[in-house]
Chain A
Amino acid sequence: ETGVTQSPTHLIKTRGQQVTLRCSSQSGHNTVSWYQQALGQGPQFIFQYYREEENGRGNFPPRFSGLQFPNYSSELNVNALELDDSALYLCASSAEYEQYFGPGTRLTVT
């Protein structure tokens, strides 16, 4: 176990709705990254937060946004959900270069 936790485990939403996913970092880690993993694909980088500031973003639209809190936990928010947003959402925490992943939240958009 990495010590990275995510909630909820599963989520079903309707197209157009908004969703918030949560991540608790491993103790001592001040950086959180979020990834989207479609079925049968490798994870795709969404963005990274370091000390409550976004410091890197992948090729995702602005309706994907995030927050990092003083205790280094994090949220991923997705507005105006689309069917293609159905995926496993992973967060990873790190202190140096190695990133440790949580179990993921499986989001289904209908």
Chain B
Amino acid sequence: QKEVEQDPGPLSVPEGAIVSLNCTYSNSAFQYFMWYRQYSRKGPELLMYTYSSGNKEDGRFTAQVDKSSKYISLFIRDSQPSDSATYLCAMSALGIQGAQKLVFGQGTRLTINP
């Protein structure tokens, strides 16, 4: 079983829809939760960063963490064609000497149709 599970999709929605992306994880030591967006042939771009449980909102993006269920979500409101990309969840536990290894999901490929 992988430490982090993410539905690879692909997911296709019309412009303006609300998108929900999710990951589950098995390691209860994870404390830091991130969402990255990756365009084709580019490096991952940090979208949202959350420590422990709770919600965080940034513009059209909302990240939720439920540590009791080991479940994290990213919501995109008023989706735009420019949001079409692969979305990666990532999480970590603080390691020895401050080392922080990010464990990624497989990524969900999202397409927003005009």
User: Are A and B subunits of one complex?
Assistant: yes
Instruction: Report which A residues bind B (CB closer than 8 A).
Output: 2, 4, 6, 33, 35, 40-45, 48, 50, 55-56, 58, 90, 92, 94, 97-104, 106
Instruction: Verify B46–A98 contact, CB threshold 8 A.
Output: yes
| Residue among A6, A58, A92, A94 having the largest count of chain B Cβ atoms under 10 Å | A92
B106-A42 in contact (CB<8A): yes
Task: Find out whether the CB atom of B44 lies under 8 angstroms from the CB atom of A48.
Answer: no
- B101-A43 in contact (CB<8A): no
Are the CB atoms of A42 and B43 closer together than 8 Å?
A: no
Contact A55 B97 (CB under 8 A): yes
Give, as a whole number of angstroms, the nearest-CB distance from A1 to chain B: 9
Q: Is the beta-carbon distance between A103 and B106 smaller than 8 angstroms?
A: no
Residues of B within 8 A of A (CB): 4, 6, 8, 32, 34, 36, 41-46, 49, 51, 88, 90, 92, 94-107
Is A40's CB under 8 angstroms from B106's CB?
A: yes
> Who on chain B is nearest to A94 by CB?
B100
Cβ distance A106 to chain B, nearest Cβ, rounded Å: 8
* Chain A residue contacts of B8, Cβ below 8 A: 40
Complex: A33 Cα to B6 Cα, angstroms = 22
Q: Are B100 and A56 in contact (CB under 8 A)?
A: yes
- Contact, CB under 8 Å: B49 / A101: no
CB neighbours of A35 from chain B (8 A): 102
Nearest CB of B to A88, in Å: 8
Whether the pair B99, A48 counts as a contact (CB closer than 8 A) is yes
Asked if B104 contacts A42 (CB within 8 A), the reply is: yes
21 residue pairs of the A-B complex, CB under 8 angstroms, read A2-B43, A33-B101, A33-B102, A35-B102, A40-B8, A41-B107, A42-B4, A42-B6, A45-B103, A55-B96, A55-B97, A55-B99, A56-B100, A94-B100, A97-B92, A97-B100, A99-B34, A101-B36, A101-B43, A103-B42, A104-B43
| Cβ-defined contact, A42 with B42, below 8 A | no
Decide: A50 and B98 in contact? CB cutoff 8 A. Answer: yes
